[in-house]
């Protein structure tokens, strides 16, 4: 039930050691899993390979996959199928919005900025789930990362909040489609964590401060804490769950 030995998981969205995706990769690795990493462009290849070298196994695989490109997605999962045959899960840890639209008022979002945020942060889950399905021939688990800003208004989160609402719905529709193949799809709604992407969100420090002062557990969550819940979602222990959003946020979302 607990071990992921003999299982292979795709982790998308490791940018550096602070990435939530890296916390997930470490948790899956510690449970015995083999890992496949995808990165957006060649700029991230070396950082991802260097991080993977710190793991105590050397059978990880690496593929470039810009999720705005359908051909890249299809080619990546065809290559994965040829190289490993079967995968048991996928962690989708990808989002993007223009920095200048993560402050001020949502209503000022441009059409291009709106479409870009939804393309990379929400549609990509549908696209990669469809491609991954063909390699998940033994069933499996897909996990995406969302944020409270998709459920309610969070200052400055703006278009990314609207994209997260779309991601949450995308996750549920995908769960409904893929359940018949034994594939589960769930989301982790992580509390704020200081990462490269978080730097783009206006006044991120005061969001973190608020967690330390008001969240039931009185501290921000860590990449490791999110990683452990991703491990649970990838494991057999969560086999009865799909289409669900789990809040890993020190309890903050229960506050009014």
Q: Which residues are catalytic, by number? A: 147, 157
> Which x/- pattern, by CB under 6 A, does the window 65-84 give for ligand 0WD?
-xxx----------------
CA distances from 54 to 18, 25, 48, 193, 207 (A): 14, 11, 10, 22, 32
CA-closest candidate to residue 6, choices 68, 87, 80, 65: 87
217 a known binding residue?
A: no
CA distance 218 to 250: 7
| 37 is an interface residue for ligand 0WD by CB under 6 A | no
| 145 is an interface residue for ligand 0WD by CB under 6 A | yes
CA distance 251 to 29: 27
CA-closest candidate to residue 17, choices 56, 43, 44: 44
66 a known binding residue?
A: yes
The span of 1-9, 63-71, 170-178, 229-237 binding ligand 0WD (CB under 6 A) equals 63-71
**Interface residues for ligand 0WD in 97-126 (CB under 6 A)?**
120
113 is written with which tokens?
């900025």
DSSP state of 137: B
4 or 25: whose CB is closer to ligand 0WD? 25
Q: Is 226 exposed, middle or buried (0-12, 13-18, 19+ CB in 10 A)?
A: buried
> Which x/- pattern, by CB under 6 A, does the window 181-210 give for ligand 0WD?
---------x-xx-xxxx------------
| 215 is an interface residue for ligand 0WD by CB under 6 A | no
97 a known binding residue?
A: yes
| 52 is an interface residue for ligand 0WD by CB under 6 A | no
8 or 76: whose CB is closer to ligand 0WD? 76
Q: What is the 3-state secondary structure (H, E, C) of 41-75?
A: CHHHHHHHHHHHHCCCCCCCEEEECCCCCHHHHHH
Cβ at position 21, least distance to ligand 0WD in Å: 6
What does the chain come to in residues? 256
Cβ at position 9, least distance to ligand 0WD in Å: 16
CA-closest candidate to residue 115, choices 150, 163, 59: 163
Measured in degrees and rounded to the nearest 5, phi and psi for residue 235 equal: -85, 170
| 15 is an interface residue for ligand 0WD by CB under 6 A | yes
Binding positions for substrate: 97
Q: Give the binding site for ligand 0WD (CB under 6 A).
A: 13, 15, 19-21, 39-40, 44, 66-68, 93-96, 120, 145, 147, 190, 192-193, 195-198
């Amino acid at each position: 039930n607990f071990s992921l030995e003999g299982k292979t998981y795709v982790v998308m969205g490791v940018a550096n050691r602070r990435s939530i995706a890296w916390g997930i990769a470490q948790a899956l690795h510690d449970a015995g899993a083999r890992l496949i990493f995808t990165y957006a462009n060649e700029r991230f290849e070396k950082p991802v390979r260097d991080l993977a070298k710190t793991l105590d196994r050397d059978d990880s695989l690496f593929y470039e996959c810009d999720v705005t490109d359908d051909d890249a997605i299809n080619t990546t999962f065809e290559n994965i199928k040829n190289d490993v045959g079967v995968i048991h899960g996928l962690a989708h840890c990808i989002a993007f919005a223009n920095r200048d639209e993560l402050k001020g008022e949502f209503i000022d979002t441009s059409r291009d900025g709106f479409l870009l945020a939804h393309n990379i942060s929400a549609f990509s889950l549908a696209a990669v789930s469809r491609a991954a399905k063909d390699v998940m021939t033994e069933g499996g688990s897909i996990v995406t990362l969302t944020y409270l800003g998709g459920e309610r208004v969070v200052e400055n989160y703006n278009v990314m909040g609207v994209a997260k609402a779309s991601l949450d719905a995308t996750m549920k529709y995908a769960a409904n489609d893929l359940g018949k193949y034994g594939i589960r799809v769930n989301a982790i709604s992580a509390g704020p964590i200081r990462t490269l992407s978080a730097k783009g969100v206006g006044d991120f420090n005061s969001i973190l401060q608020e967690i330390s002062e008001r969240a039931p557990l009185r501290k921000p969550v860590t990449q490791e804490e999110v990683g452990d819940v991703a491990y649970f979602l990838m494991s057999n222990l969560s086999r009865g769950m799909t289409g669900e959003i789990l809040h890993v946020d020190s309890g903050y979302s229960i506050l009014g």
